[in-house]
Chain A
């Protein structure tokens, strides 16, 4: 087995047994990236020099008896996570040459645990999109079929994990941006409970919805990453002082007596029959292992998309107001200040970002605030209550992650509404602030991955990990790899 074929858990064991060095492991990934990146474009920036330096330091640390859950392990980071000294673009012209003077808290945590950062992965610009087609630096291709999208907005991270460009990656999720690309690329992705992971250093899109989470080849690897990044942070006043459980210990808890809810509103027209079938089979498999299945209802599901597109865009319009060409980033030439703002933002932002800023500005503007923004906040309360109600009778809710498998590049680019519908099963989770995991549950006839989503109560990531692990161990999905990516290395 080549080093780049190892899972994060296997690589950690191999390094601990001195079978492999971090430098060898890192070089293995860098060579693979060099050969296959041109056809997949998962990365915005590959930092070979920084990665090898960190790998050397990790090997030295280990030689001196040092340890750490991620010591010497090569990872990739979505390019909206601030990395000190390494450019962070958010896949936008606005930040094309921006180099942060600080590390995001999660990046600090990964480095303290000994991780090696291979580079920054591609995303939809400022995390706004569901296909990574909105990147200002080119689309990422799905490793399972390069004519198709990897999903978005964390498409680069999902593709990098699926293609074996890194052991695991971090993504961010505001309306499904970890889970949907995980589903389309056949990997595991978790959005934690809102407040579980510090957002300090994550370039903000929608502050009441954004969360950072792991993307990995299997549940164990994802849990290892969560253990490192979860926790309260004084630098993020929206992070919560809730003790982080031992996720590794929780993995093997099994599912005996676990009550699984199937929400009737999620199994409707527009859902690909192959996706529905794979998800139902997965739930049946969990039932055989001792779980019980119950019908539940999330009555306000039909309003989730509208609520999200009013609240998230309103918050984005505020968060993106800082990009004005004054202190950093792109600046357009102008004779006076306001025209400088207007031209900088017109030229620096792509069309989807501008569309969302305008929608959000409108929803907040005088005369429309009550009708749109406030109303959406009220419906958000109802959506959150739907989940509270359902979780009185079940412990996890099972749904498809996405209504279809990976669609073709360009297929949905012309109609924003069609693109927005890709997030229809994931958006409710961000609005309710609860955690959810996507994991592979099959392939369609075209060989494209299908994702199962499990949604849990706030702060019950352990339950999600144990249910996901139990299902995963009875299947072979996690061992499948995309074929024909390029020359054998």
Chain B
């Protein structure tokens, strides 16, 4: 199941990462080395083994749906790279 350059491009797009051609080649090699190592998992009989998503037996941790103070707007916007009219400003999304 070796990664092709097209696979690397596809994954980079999913991850919203722009990569250079040199990076595409380098990541392909490095990711394949890691996946080769992971091939050792294919030999195991896992037919009766449930997956562990979470190591603790915790399920549906609830709290009361009560309103408490939110962060003040100035604090929310304090780290904004660009802001206007009390909002985060970003480049055009829709044409």
- A324, A358, A378, A420: which contacts B51 (Cβ < 8 A)? A378
Judging by beta carbons under 8 Å apart, are B16 and A324 in contact?
Answer: yes
Known: A329-B81, A377-B52, A381-B51. A358 touches B46 (CB 8 A): no
Chain A residues numbered 313-369 whose CB sits less than 8 Å from any CB in chain B: 317, 321, 324-331, 334-343, 345-346, 349, 351, 354-355, 357-359, 361-362, 365, 368
Say which residue of B14, B54, B56, B79 sits within 8 Å of A99 (CB atoms): B79
Among residues of A, the one whose C-beta sits closest to the C-beta of B81 is: A331
Contacts of B67 in A (CB 8 A): none
Q: In this assembly, does B84 line the interface, its C-beta being within 8 Å of a C-beta of chain A?
A: no
- A76 at the binding interface (Cβ < 8 Å): no
Known: A101-B78, A306-B41, A375-B46. A336 touches B51 (CB 8 A): no
In the complex, A302 has a CB within 8 A of chain B: yes
Mask, B1-43, CB within 8 Å of A = 1, is: 1010001101110111111000100010011011101101110
Closest beta carbon of chain B to A329's beta carbon, Å: 7
Residues on A with C-beta less than 8 A from B7 are: 362
A295 within 8 A of B: no
Binary CB contact string for chain B from 39 to 81 against chain A (1 if under 8 A, 0 otherwise): 0111010100111111110100101000000010001101111
Interface residues of B, count at CB 8 A: 51
* Interface pair A346/B19, CB less than 8 Å apart: yes
**Among A13-21, A176-184, A233-241, A404-412, the stretch in contact with B:** A233-241
Q: Is A98 an interface residue (CB 8 A)?
A: yes
**Which residues of the partner chain B approach A417 to less than 8 Å between Cβ atoms?**
33-34, 37
Interface membership of B85, Cβ < 8 A: no
Interface centre among A101, A349, A372 (most CB of B within 10 A): A101
Taking the nearest CB of chain A, how far is it from the CB of B87, in angstroms? 10
CA distance A374 to B52 in the complex (A): 9
A379 to chain B: which residues have CB within 8 Å?
Answer: 41, 44, 46, 49
Could you say which residues of chain B place their CB within 8 Å of the CB of A102? Answer: 71
Chain A hits for B76, CB < 8 A:
101, 327
| B-contact bits for A208-222, CB 8 A (1 contact / 0 none) | 100000000000000
Contacts of B49 in A (CB 8 A): 378-379, 381-382
Contacts A303-B44, A327-B88 hold; do A380 and B93 have CB atoms under 8 A apart?
Answer: no
Instruction: Report which of A101, A208, A338, A380 forms a contact with B16, defined as CB distance below 8 A.
Output: A338
* Contact B91 A374, beta carbon cutoff 8 Å: no
Chain A interface, number of residues (Cβ within 8 angstroms)? 70
Are B44 and A357 touching (Cβ within 8 A)?
Answer: no
Q: Mask for A71-101, Cβ within 8 A of B = 1, else 0?
A: 0000000000000000000000000011101
Q: How far is the CA of A334 from the CA of B12 in the complex (A)?
A: 18
| CA of A307 to CA of B35, assembled, Å | 11
Question: Hey, which chain B residues are within 8 Å of A194, CB to CB?
Answer: 55-56
- Nearest residue, chain B, Cβ from A358: B11
Q: Which residues of B contact A (CB under 8 A)?
A: 1, 3, 7-8, 10-12, 14-19, 23, 27, 30-31, 33-35, 37-38, 40-42, 44, 46, 49-56, 58, 61, 63, 71, 75-76, 78-82, 88, 90-93
Q: What are 20 A-B interface contacts by the 8 Å CB criterion?
A: A302-B40, A306-B40, A317-B15, A326-B81, A327-B79, A328-B79, A331-B81, A346-B17, A346-B18, A354-B23, A355-B27, A358-B11, A358-B17, A361-B15, A362-B11, A372-B35, A379-B49, A381-B49, A384-B55, A416-B34
Which A residues form the contact surface with B (CB < 8 A)?
97-99, 101-102, 194-195, 208, 234, 237-238, 240, 302-303, 305-307, 309-310, 317, 321, 324-331, 334-343, 345-346, 349, 351, 354-355, 357-359, 361-362, 365, 368, 371-372, 374-382, 384, 416-417, 420, 431-433
Additional A-B contacts beyond A302-B40, A328-B81, A359-B35 (16; CB < 8 A): A98-B79, A237-B58, A303-B41, A306-B37, A309-B37, A326-B90, A341-B16, A343-B18, A345-B16, A358-B8, A358-B15, A358-B17, A361-B15, A381-B49, A382-B44, A433-B55
* 6 A-B pairs closest in CB distance: A433-B55, A377-B51, A328-B79, A331-B81, A342-B18, A306-B38
